[in-house]
Amino acid sequence: SSFKLKLSFLFHCMFFSLFADKRVHASCPIQLSSSSVVLKYGDSVSINCSTSETMFEGIGWEAPMGGTGVEKVNHLTWTVEELTDWNISPQCYINPSSESQFDQCFSKPKIVLYSNIPRGDQYQLQRCNQWSPVQNLNISWYKGDTKLDTETLNNPQRSPVNLSPVYNFKPSRKDDGVTFRCEAYMDLGPEGPQFNVSSQEYKIEVYCKYIMSNYLFEKFQMPYLGCLKWSCSAPELLEGDTLEKLCSVTGNPDPHVIWLKDGQSTDPTVKLKRGDEGYYTVKAEGSSYFEKTLQVYVLCEYHI
């Protein structure tokens, strides 16, 4: 029984020793000077990899740019003077010796390359530029000082991507003359710079077709049709009134309006007399064409 007790004690000690050893070396025994680096495309980068282990064959860097062989040193630096690989993912690795209590392992720093967001004109609320990295980009649209929409781009590609963010809107008459712009915000985390770039403002002109209504009986009404404003009064005018007072039509761009009587052009600003009543034709020309014939009565105004 004494032999069994000693054997059991020895087994438990060996089991505990092995278990404790695996816990100590559960993580990779290398440290990086920077776990994440943000830098501009074409800039230089340098990250140091070190270990406090004494029993190992060597450490090294594996990368398409700045890679090293295995060296028996306690620290080794990965350096690239001009980093131009958008998708680079270097890793530092350590090779164990036969006496080591760990397997080969590696550690990867996160590398984020960015390029400057170019400024440019905005055309019909569309931006066409190269962006990188896209997954860090937010696009916001503004009408005047009012934010209309924000779009977060989720493209995982790390190299520059040609994007044309578009904001769709339906203009109305009141939008004529307002300004639009877009802002791009690139969030590169605490390690990198913060970009917030605005496009030039784009002032829109709302061009509208216009039409005249045959609604002639309610005075002083000013109905709206889309971005068109038109008005007509009753066809009876007093002596001294003008044709301009009878009907008016506006649009953007301003239409060219002419009045005709018996096929001859007449000045709508001239004051009318009793003998001027009859049939008049009004024509509006511009982005569309309109023609309307009206019978106009000129009445006398009596004062009692």
Domain ranges of the chain: 32-113, 115-203, 224-299
pTM for this prediction: 0.45
Type of residue at 184: A
CA dist 211 and 288 (Å) reads: 9
DSSP, collapsed to helix, strand or coil, labels residue 241 as coil
| Domain 32-113 = CATH 2.60.40.10 | yes
Tell me which residue has tokens 């008016």: 248
The reply to whether domains 32-113 and 115-203 share a CATH topology is yes
- List helix spans (H) across the chain: 2-24, 243-246
The secondary structure element, H or E, covering residue 68 is: none
What's the confidence (pLDDT) of residue 185? Answer: 77
- DSSP character for 192? S
8 Cβ neighbours under 8 A, 6+ residues apart: none
Give the model's confidence band at 79: pLDDT under 50 very low, under 70 low, under 90 confident, else very high.
very high
Kindly report the CATH class assigned to 224-299: mainly beta
Site of tokens 């990965």: 78
Nearest by Cα to 59 from 87, 82, 67: 67
Q: What letter would DSSP give residue 71?
A: B
The answer, yes or no, to whether residue 8 has pLDDT greater than 60, is: no
Q: What is the pLDDT of residues 97-119, one digit of tens each?
A: 888 888 899 999 988 887 754 43
Residues belonging to the chain = 304
CATH 3.40.50.10580 at 115-203, yes or no? no
Q: Over the stretch 18-30, which tens digit does the pLDDT of each residue have?
A: 443 443 445 889 9
Query: What's the burial of 88, exposed, middle or buried (CB within 10 Å: 0-12/13-18/19+)?
Result: middle
Question: Per-residue pLDDT for 234 more than 80?
Answer: no
CA distances from 61 to 46, 75, 94 (A): 12, 11, 9
Q: Is the confidence at residue 183, as pLDDT, over 60?
A: yes
- CA end-to-end span of the chain: 142
Distance between CA atoms of residues 124 and 102, nearest Å: 61
Q: Burial code of 2-38, b = ≥16 C-beta within 10 A, e = fewer?
A: eeeeeeeeeeeeeeeeeeeeeeeeeebbbebeeeebb
